[in-house]
């Protein structure tokens, strides 16, 4: 009697912890504008390799995994990934019935000794619940799965705009000791936005291991709405390959969140050789090239999308030195700043020796 009560308590605790860990994200974007890019954290339970992670999550190319994590492209398939490392997994998201889930990927083949709960909590580190796996795969009895059976693992995601902006939704696994405000600061959003889209009333209720929907700011780009990859949303600190692998685009805060694209030098998946990437109104500039046409004026040949025939380009003029001019006109003249700077250092030095 006592034993079965204990089992019941343990089972309930187990159920509560799985329920609180995994999440479903609201997604009301129409199916036409879904199938968007999304990211989710995967905390490696054991030491592994990039190739094993790529295979587990059904990622087509290693470079897609490297791009999502801003890792060096010369990273090898068999390079080790230590246990408890957090990797961002790129995938395609589909919205249906108000929630977003990965688009019928990754597929997992049931191995001898696997249970649905083991697959959910250990293999996929609680990114999903066994109930969700059972539901999308139409499994009536979660205790009854067959070795060799192919299961689709529904990772949480969304394609919705946030505060009127197109973003990339990132399922962030909350680290121990983190806070909603700290996560908002790190990913350039606000605590209010995070609480609202995650339906959290009290920020103190945040739990380590919880999967939080974090909207990532994507770089502005020149990609036209007629392009096959429109809208090309590349979030901060990641890179992607597009235009049938011919173009590599990178987003970083260092470039003021303007997408930086260049020829990838990879073989195309659609063309025998990549089409010309030369800007039309310029006979010297290729995608990614910049010239200074005059002082304070730069011209960049930007990537602006692709069709099944060609790669589109656009010349983008940019004014480069308005900011420094403004700064030097403000406040103290340069020499006074220097004096202040030296004085502060002298004061600090004094304090140091007086301790
Ligand atoms: C995804 O996994 C399934 C089942 O293991 C496999 O047949 C398929 O080739 C994989 N696709 C990719 C892109 O890895
Ligand atoms: C990438 O790794 C290679 C070899 O490990 C190294 O030579 C190269 O400098 C690295 N590139 C960057 C950008 O870190
Ligand atoms: C959405 O709901 C409909 C009706 O309940 C169902 O047939 C369909 O399979 C659901 N789609 C998903 C992806 O769950
Ligand atoms: C991690 O390693 C432990 C011990 O070797 C093993 O029992 C467990 O199944 C492994 N987990 C995964 C997800 O492979
Ligand atoms: C962009 O990424 C950099 C490098 O990881 C990070 O320091 C910065 O906080 C990020 N900014 C935003 C707005 O996400
Ligand atoms: C998600 O959608 C449901 C149904 O539309 C709604 O009741 C709920 O408040 C939404 N949750 C969040 C966090 O927006
Ligand atoms: C595409 O953008 C152009 C202007 O850049 C606009 O006039 C047109 O309506 C847009 N088309 C669609 C389908 O959004
Ligand atoms: C950064 O981009 C914003 C908008 O895209 C623009 O207003 C601002 O002038 C840019 N700053 C610099 C230093 O280029
Ligand atoms: C592209 O294909 C050629 C052969 O068609 C091959 O020799 C070359 O290694 C490939 N390059 C890349 C980057 O895959
Ligand atoms: C223009 O871009 C191409 C391809 O990235 C590069 O090989 C070339 O050196 C660049 N030219 C200039 C002038 O920057
Ligand atoms: C910068 O150069 C571009 C292209 O040469 C030109 O269209 C634009 O008017 C110039 N802007 C300024 C501020 O000189
Ligand atoms: C390219 O797309 C157009 C329609 O957008 C289609 O008519 C044409 O057959 C396609 N061409 C190729 C080579 O696929």
Q: Report how far residue 178's alpha carbon sits from residue 282's, in angstroms, rounded to the nearest whole number.
A: 50
Beta strands 156-157 and 25-26, pairing class: unpaired
107 lines ligand 1 (CB under 6 A): yes
Residue-wise pLDDT tens digits, 169-205: 999 999 999 999 999 999 999 999 999 999 999 999 9
269 lines ligand 9 (CB under 6 A): no
Res 335 pLDDT > 90: no
Res 343 pLDDT > 80: no
Q: Where are the alpha helices (DSSP H) in the chain?
A: 2-21, 50-56, 62-68, 116-118, 130-136, 180-186, 191-198, 322-329, 334-354
Domain boundaries, the chain: 20-106+155-216, 238-319
- Give me ligand 4 centre to Cα 113, in Å: 12
Q: Give the ligand with the smallest distance to the CA of 63.
A: 9
Q: Is residue 115 within 8 Å of 13, Cβ to Cβ?
A: no
Residue-wise pLDDT tens digits, 111-131: 999 999 999 999 999 999 999
Res 8 pLDDT > 70: no
Q: Is residue 89 within 8 Å of 68, Cβ to Cβ?
A: yes
239 lines ligand 2 (CB under 6 A): no
Q: Is 251 exposed, middle or buried (0-12, 13-18, 19+ CB in 10 A)?
A: buried
Q: Report how far residue 274's alpha carbon sits from residue 266's, in angstroms, rounded to the nearest whole number.
A: 9
Neighbours of 18 (CB within 10 A): 17
The dihedral built from the CA positions of residue 261, 262, 264 and 268, taken in this order, carries a sign that is positive
pLDDT band for position 342 (cuts 50, 70, 90): very low
Q: Report how far residue 280's alpha carbon sits from residue 285's, in angstroms, rounded to the nearest whole number.
A: 9
Q: DSSP 3-state assignment of 87?
A: strand
Residue-wise pLDDT tens digits, 15-34: 334 334 567 899 998 866 66
């Amino acid at each position: 009697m006592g034993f079965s009560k204990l089992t019941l308590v343990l089972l309930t605790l187990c159920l509560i912890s799985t329920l609180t860990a995994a999440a479903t994200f609201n997604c009301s974007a129409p199916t036409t504008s879904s199938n968007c890019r999304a990211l989710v954290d995967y905390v490696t339970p054991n030491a592994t390799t990039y190739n094993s992670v790529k295979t587990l999550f059904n990622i087509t190319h290693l470079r897609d995994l490297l791009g999502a994590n801003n890792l060096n492209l010369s990273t090898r398939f068999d390079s080790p990934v230590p246990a408890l490392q957090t990797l961002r997994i790129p995938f395609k998201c589909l919205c249906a019935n108000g929630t977003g889930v990965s688009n019928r990927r990754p597929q997992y083949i049931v191995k001898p000794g696997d249970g649905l709960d083991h697959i959910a909590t250990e293999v996929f580190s609680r990114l999903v619940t066994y109930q969700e796996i059972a539901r999308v795969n139409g499994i009536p009895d979660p205790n009854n799965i067959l070795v060799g059976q192919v299961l689709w693992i529904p990772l949480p995601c969304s394609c919705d705009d946030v505060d009127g902006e197109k973003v990339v939704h990132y399922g962030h696994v909350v680290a121990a000791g983190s806070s909603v405000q700290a996560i908002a600061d790190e990913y350039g959003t606000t605590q209010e936005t995070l609480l609202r889209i995650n339906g959290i009333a009290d920020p103190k209720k945040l739990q380590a291991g919880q999967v939080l929907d974090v909207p990532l700011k994507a770089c502005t780009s020149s990609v036209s709405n007629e392009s096959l990859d429109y809208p090309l949303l590349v979030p901060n600190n990641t890179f992607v390959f597009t235009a049938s692998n011919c173009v590599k685009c990178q987003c970083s805060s260092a470039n003021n969140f303007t997408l930086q694209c260049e020829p990838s030098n990879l073989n195309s998946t659609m063309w025998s050789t990549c089409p010309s990437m030369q800007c039309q109104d310029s006979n010297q500039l290729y995608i990614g090239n910049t010239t200074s046409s005059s002082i304070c004026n730069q011209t960049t040949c930007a990537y602006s999308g692709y069709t099944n025939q060609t790669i589109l380009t656009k010349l983008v003029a940019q004014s480069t030195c308005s900011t420094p001019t403004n700064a030097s006109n403000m406040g103290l003249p340069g020499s006074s700043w220097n004096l202040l700077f030296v004085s502060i250092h002298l004061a600090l030095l004094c304090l140091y020796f007086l301790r």
